[in-house]
């Protein structure tokens, strides 16, 4: 069946796939394409509309990503976001200027509601800004439909030509009415009917995988996290015991986690699972290393080595499954986006495993979409709603160099914090919560004795997409209980801090 299509034209912003996902959530199929896709190719796709994303460039830079003026003359509705809005202003001969200061964060926005984009949006609303340049004068034919204190053209429209531009980011949660605006663009301006249904995806994927794999052998690196578990169960549903899962225990897992993973997948799902106990091997390689990216690299490489050695014992397989999801792809840097962290699950591939092809069934999905796919596959709720855990594990939560002693302290502190969050019934509403062992030691006093011990930081964030996140307002008494239990029950910890930074500007993990 042919779906209605909206194209997201990628100018290298961090939120590009988030825009795509918002469009899919509004039941409209959507593809992200590079900004320099030839116009003929865009026309061939016959899109109902085009969205220009943000990006790190400035329209006046020599190699700034551009589009041809002709694109605006095809009669296809266009919505420009952030850099995309400035680009529209610039190419259509408006004026783009540099502000004295970067405008960043939640901003009051005043809109005019007598246009299809802002239909039903409140006159004084909030939006998320992140820019230095801005449109100072709209092109001829455009009306200003939104302003902020510092941004004279926070939104503009040429209603007749169906061209719209917003300086802010309607796709992020910090723009509370952003979803409404995007829906308005899709339904009021592009005249979409909404013929794309997300929850068909799981069944369709299982069917496609079964056809593709046939009677061939599949190998999967299972970590026990949501992503690799959903990917593995999906393949297991499709081809059963043709799938073998290798679970590398790198010694950087949370308390009791290795045993739990082994038990769930062998007993509950009856999968072929091989557990490799490689704890010592990883710790030896990590000894004395304190740089976060170096840690990731070492773990990524070592993981592949261990995995390869194990895979060799199995012999030739046809397919290799990876639980890569979209944020892994985008945050590891696409063609135009900046590299924030090199997530090891996209960093490297085993060179010495004899396989024909990689399968990444979740590559286009965000975390909460992956969870929904998991539910559609009848994976038990406790596993599906499990908080994400990074591939490098506790290695990026022990700040600085890693030792078994530090890991032990962190495991115990983290276990207590998670237990208290659960006891308080907060585990469902907080997106990710964990302890971090800082490499800061400070002075304390315990039973008349001076102590000089570690500071543990507690981190809890609410987020739907892990691209942006807000720190969780955990009740003080829950924090107090966790804090006093940790200092009392975990040796060598005498101070607890709670992290009150959002993402951005911080990231969720400390490293």
Chain-centroid distance of CA 277 in Å reads 29
Choose between 119 and 360: whose C-beta lies nearer to ligand XMP.
360
341 near ligand XMP, judged by CB under 6 A: yes
In the region spanning residues 387 to 426, those forming contacts with ligand XMP, defined by CB under 6 A, are 388, 390-392
Q: Does 8 bind ligand XMP (CB under 6 A)?
A: no
Q: Pseudo-torsion of CA 441, 443, 446, 451, nearest 10°?
A: 60
Q: Give the nearer residue to ligand XMP in terms of CB position, either 417 or 466.
A: 466
Which of 285-291's residues contact partners 24+ apart within 8 Å by CB, and which partners? Answer: 286/395, 286/401, 286/402, 287/401, 287/402, 287/403, 288/401, 289/401, 289/402, 290/400, 290/401, 290/439
Which span sits near ligand XMP by CB under 6 A: 22-30, 249-257, 265-273, 503-511? Answer: 503-511
- Which of 13, 47 has the CB closer to ligand XMP? 13
Question: Within positions 264 to 323, which residues make up the interface with ligand XMP, using CB under 6 A?
Answer: 296
Task: Pick between residue 481 and residue 503 the one whose CB is nearest to ligand XMP.
Answer: 503
Question: Residue 509 interacts with ligand XMP (CB under 6 A)?
Answer: yes
Is 344 a residue that touches ligand XMP (CB under 6 A)?
yes
Counting contacts by CB under 6 A, is residue 444 touching ligand XMP? no
Q: Are 160 and 140 in contact (CB under 8 A)?
A: no
- Residue 48: closest CA among 193, 206, 226: 193
Cis peptide before 505 (omega within 30 of 0): yes
Please tell me whether residue 508 binds ligand XMP under the rule CB under 6 A.
yes
CB closer to ligand XMP out of 360 and 509: 509
Q: Give me the active site residues, please.
A: 82, 169, 171
Question: Binding ligand XMP by CB under 6 A: which of 21, 254, 343, 459?
Answer: 343
In contact, 494 and 454? CB cutoff 8 Å: yes
Among 432, 455, 468, 472, binds ligand XMP (CB under 6 A): 432
The DSSP output letter for 326 is H
Helix or strand (DSSP H, E) at 17: helix 16-25
Question: Which of 125-133, 181-189, 336-344, 403-411 is the region at the interface with ligand XMP (rule: CB under 6 A)?
Answer: 336-344
List 7's β-bridge partners, or say none: 31, 50
Q: Of the two residues 48 and 296, which places its CB atom closer to ligand XMP in the complex?
A: 296
174 CB-near residues (< 8 Å, 6+ apart)? 105, 106, 126, 127, 128, 468
Is residue 173 near ligand XMP by the rule CB under 6 A? no
CB 293, min distance to ligand XMP, A: 9
List interacting residues with ligand XMP (CB under 6 A). 296, 331, 341, 343-345, 388, 390-392, 432, 466, 503, 507-509
């Amino acid at each position: 069946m042919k779906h209605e299509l909206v194209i997201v034209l990628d100018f290298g912003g961090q939120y590009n796939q988030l825009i795509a996902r918002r469009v899919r959530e509004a039941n409209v199929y959507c593809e992200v394409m590079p900004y320099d896709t030839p116009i003929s190719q865009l026309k061939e796709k016959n899109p109902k509309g085009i969205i220009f994303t943000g990006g790190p460039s400035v329209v006046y830079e020599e190699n700034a990503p551009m589009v041809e003026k002709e694109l605006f003359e095809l009669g296809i509705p266009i919505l420009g976001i952030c850099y995309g809005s400035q680009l529209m202003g610039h190419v259509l001969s408006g004026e783009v200027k540099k502000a004295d200061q970067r405008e960043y964060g939640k901003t009051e926005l005043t809109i005019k509601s007598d246009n299809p984009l802002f239909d039903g949006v409140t006159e004084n609303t909030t939006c998320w800004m992140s820019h230095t340049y801005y449109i100072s004068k709209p092109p001829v034919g455009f009306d200003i439909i939104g302003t902020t204190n510092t941004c004279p053209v926070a939104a503009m429209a040429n209603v007749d030509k169906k061209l719209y531009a917003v300086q802010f980011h309607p796709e992020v949660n910090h723009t509370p009415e952003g979803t409404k605006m995007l829906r308005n663009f899709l339904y009021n301006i592009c005249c979409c009917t909404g013929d794309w249904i997300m929850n068909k995806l799981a069944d369709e994927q299982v069917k496609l995988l079964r056809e593709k794999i046939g009677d061939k052998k599949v190998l999967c690196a299972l970590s026990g996290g949501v992503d690799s578990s959903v990917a593995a169960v999906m393949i297991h549903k499709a081809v059963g015991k043709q799938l073998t899962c290798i679970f590398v225990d790198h010694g950087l897992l949370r308390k009791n986690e290795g045993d739990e993973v082994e038990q769930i997948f062998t007993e509950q799902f009856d999968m072929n699972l091989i557990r490799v106990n490689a704890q010592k091997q990883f710790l030896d390689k990590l000894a004395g290393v304190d740089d976060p990216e170096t840690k990731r690299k070492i773990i990524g490489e070592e993981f592949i080595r261990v995995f390869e050695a194990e895979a060799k014992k199995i012999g030739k397989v046809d397919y290799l499954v990876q639980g890569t999801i979209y944020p892994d792809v985008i945050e590891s840097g696409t063609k135009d986006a900046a590299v924030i962290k090199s997530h090891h699950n996209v960093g490297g591939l085993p060179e010495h495993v004899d396989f024909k092809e990689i399968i990444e069934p979740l590559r286009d999905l965000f975390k909460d979409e992956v969870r929904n796919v998991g539910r559609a596959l009848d994976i038990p709720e406790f596993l599906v709603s499990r908080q994400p855990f990074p591939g490098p594990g506790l290695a990026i939560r022990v700040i600085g160099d890693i030792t078994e002693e530090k890991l032990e302290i962190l495991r115990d502190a983290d276990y207590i914090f998670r237990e208290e969050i659960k006891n308080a019934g907060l585990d469902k509403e907080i997106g990710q919560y964990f302890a971090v062992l800082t490499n800061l030691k400070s002075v304390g006093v315990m039973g008349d004795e001076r102590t000089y011990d570690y500071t543990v930081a507690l981190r809890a964030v609410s987020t739907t997409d892990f691209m942006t996140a807000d720190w969780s307002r955990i009740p003080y008494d829950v924090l107090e209980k966790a804090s006093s239990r940790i200092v009392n029950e975990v040796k060598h910890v005498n101070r607890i801090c709670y992290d009150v930074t959002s993402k951005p500007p911080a990231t969720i993990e400390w490293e």
